[in-house]
Structure 1
Amino acid sequence: MNSNNGQSRSTSPLEHVARQYAPDQEFPLGGYLGAMGVYAGSVTALALTARLTRRQVVAPSPWDVVVTALATHQLSRLVARNPVTSPLRAPFTRFQGTQGPAELKEEVRGEGAKRTIGELLTCPFCTGMWVVTALSGGYVFAPRATRLAASGLAALAGSDFLHYVRAKLN
């Protein structure tokens, strides 16, 4: 050990911080840092591409915000919980059973980047950030197609809500 607060020479500063942050559990702080880097790089690439191609960026209307919110909710739930999308999550998760109508319960497995990807793919809140960024980029580069896709997902969210209401009434 060196004199740097008992930190071993083989321990990286990030591992040291992760142990201090969550001493009683394996916490993928490095994986999260990597995911943040990929996200920031993606947003930067979208912004630079929009600028270089002189895309017009128009402020969304309140209606666009509502439709995008519903679409983001719906697509993030489809990615994170739907049985049909389980092959996307399977390399990073372990099936635990069902969790509500048309939703699965899965446990994240692995460590490092594998664990981080599993957590991103099983968390609708985490997935939602990536979905809304993709939709926002779509509004810049392909607004008509993105509006159509977002409207379809928003309608599906409304349909799912009605299914839940009907199930409660029966």
Structure 2
Amino acid sequence: MALSAVQRHVREHTEGYAPDAERPLGGYLAVLASFGTGAAGAALAARLTGTAPPRLSTRELVLLTVATHKLSRMVSKDAVTSPLRAPFTRFQGPSAPSEVAEEVRGSGLQHSLGELLTCPFCLAPWVASALLVLRTASPATARTVFAGLTAVAGSDFLQYAFAAAQQRHAPRD
């Protein structure tokens, strides 16, 4: 199918799907295709090198889960990672401690990537997949990364608990 035919097909579906709203289905399709291509490429590389898929212990799965949460949040919300999101977003202001609020901008693929990069829930499958590829390629390095990100997430929760305790015990005027 030629590119123009694919574009026409996507446009027809977009109009039928959301006639009163701009939904970048073509951009979403490109993002989905890149995820699928990356997953297939990682699977092919593992097969060609004879690398078995990782068998995660319960401990590793817990570390992977917390690391995925933390890295997804860091990429999508941290001020220091805003240069990664800047081509796709517009700064709105601070939000949670050390996080920023951003508005997705543009249309098509630019908008789709902006939505992906500002949504920790949307980014989590990408992050988990990347961490699993790392775990397959270099188990020791992955365990170190998982542990480090989990420690940072734990530290974040302790920071929030400490701040809440300070406010609860602060002198009142």
TM over 0.5: yes
- Residue identity in the other structure for 2:18: A
Distance in 2 (alpha carbons) for counterparts of 1:162 and 1:168: 10
Q: In the TM superposition, what are the counterparts of 1:111-150 in structure 2 within 5 Å? A: 111-150=107-146
Q: Which runs of 4+ in 1 moved over 6 A?
A: none
Aligned to 1:23: 19
Tell me the amino acid that sits aligned with residue 14 of structure 2.
A
1:88 paired with 2:84, answer: yes
* 2: CA distance, partners of 1:92 / 1:56: 37
Distance 1:58 1:122 in 2: 29
Q: Give unmatched runs, 5+ long, in structure 1.
A: 1-8
Matched residue, 2:39:
43
- The residue number in structure 2 matching 1:163 is 159
Partner residue in 2 for 1:6: none
Q: Which amino acid aligns with 1:58?
A: P
How many positions carry a matched residue from both structures? 161
* CA displacement at 1:58 relative to structure 2: 3.2
- Partner Cα distance (1:56, 1:37) in 2: 24
Once the 2 structures are TM-superposed, how far is the Cα of residue 80 of structure 1 from its aligned partner?
Answer: 0.2
State the match for 2:169 in structure 1: none
CA displacement at 1:74 relative to structure 2 = 0.4
TM-score (norm. length: structure 2): 0.90
Identity across aligned pairs (percent)?
A: 46
Displacement, 1:57? 2.3
- Is 2:96 the counterpart of 1:72? no
Q: CA RMSD in A?
A: 1.3
Q: Distance in 1 between matches of 2:36 and 2:145?
A: 24
Q: What does the per-residue CA deviation read over 1:74-108, in whole Å, with 9 as the maximum and x for residues that have no partner?
A: 00000000000001111110001111111100000
User: What secondary structure does 1:163 align onto?
Assistant: helix
Verify: 1:154 aligned to 2:150, yes or no.
yes
Per-residue CA deviations over 1:118-164 (Å, capped at 9, x if unaligned) read: 11110101111111000111111111101101110001000001011
Q: Distance in 2 between matches of 1:79 and 1:136?
A: 17
The residue number in structure 2 matching 1:52 is: 48
Unaligned runs of 5+ in 2: 167-173
The counterpart of 1:104, out of the listed 89, 100, 105, is: 100
Q: In structure 1, give the amino acid aligned to 2:136.
A: V
- Identify which range, 55-64 or 94-103, moves more after superposition: 55-64
3-state DSSP class of the match of 2:87?
helix
